[in-house]
Chains A and B, each alone.
Chain A
């Protein structure tokens, strides 16, 4: 699986949009971009994933650049409960698909 690079930490004011970047310049054509987050003392929570088109669900939006070398996770109206470590992962949809390689992620701090 391709490696990803994320900033170690970010701050966001409550109510504002949180934009979390991820660089995956070595991504291959059959690798998807996944985002998970982990709130303290809980297991990672799936947020969203995509291949090349932008995706949106009830939690967030995923914007993938045209060359697929980077992506941005957008939390449109961040709340204090969104404070967590966010992981960007790229992986193929094959038999090894459960073997996720987690990096160090971005620690998002949402403040009043």
Chain B
């Protein structure tokens, strides 16, 4: 079974631009979560989607948004990019809303210049 797939793997953007990252969960997984990882803050939860609805949200500004499609694939968008948004963005999926383990992709490395 294929794992969580994130595209693109690397991305370079300029301050003020916006970016869209894509995530394809493991087949059969309906819950998708997004995390940001930086050297200073570590891994931080962004948001979770289940059945196309946002179920949980972390403490990030409104510039960070996401959505989930009917096939469970998800995208996250960051508008008006800032230098501090440079990070590894990780997507994770799991079967349902309960306590099943999260399975992570290898992330998208975003660099903002």
Contacts and interface: CB of A to CB of B under 8 A. Distances in A.
Q: Are A and B interaction partners?
A: yes
B98 A43 contact: no
A97 B99 contact: yes
B56 A43 contact: no
Number of contact residues on B: which range applies? Answer: 20 to 34
Where chain A touches its partner, the secondary structure class is loop
For chain B, what secondary structure do more than half of its interface residues adopt (helix, strand, loop), or is it mixed?
strand
A45 interface: yes
Per CB-CB distance, the 8 closest pairs between chain A and chain B, nearest first, are: A93-B99, A43-B104, A102-B43, A46-B101, A98-B48, A98-B33, A99-B45, A44-B104
24 contacts: A34-B101, A41-B106, A42-B106, A43-B4, A43-B90, A43-B104, A43-B105, A43-B106, A46-B102, A46-B104, A91-B99, A93-B99, A94-B98, A95-B55, A98-B33, A98-B45, A98-B92, A98-B94, A99-B45, A100-B35, A100-B45, A101-B45, A102-B44, A104-B42
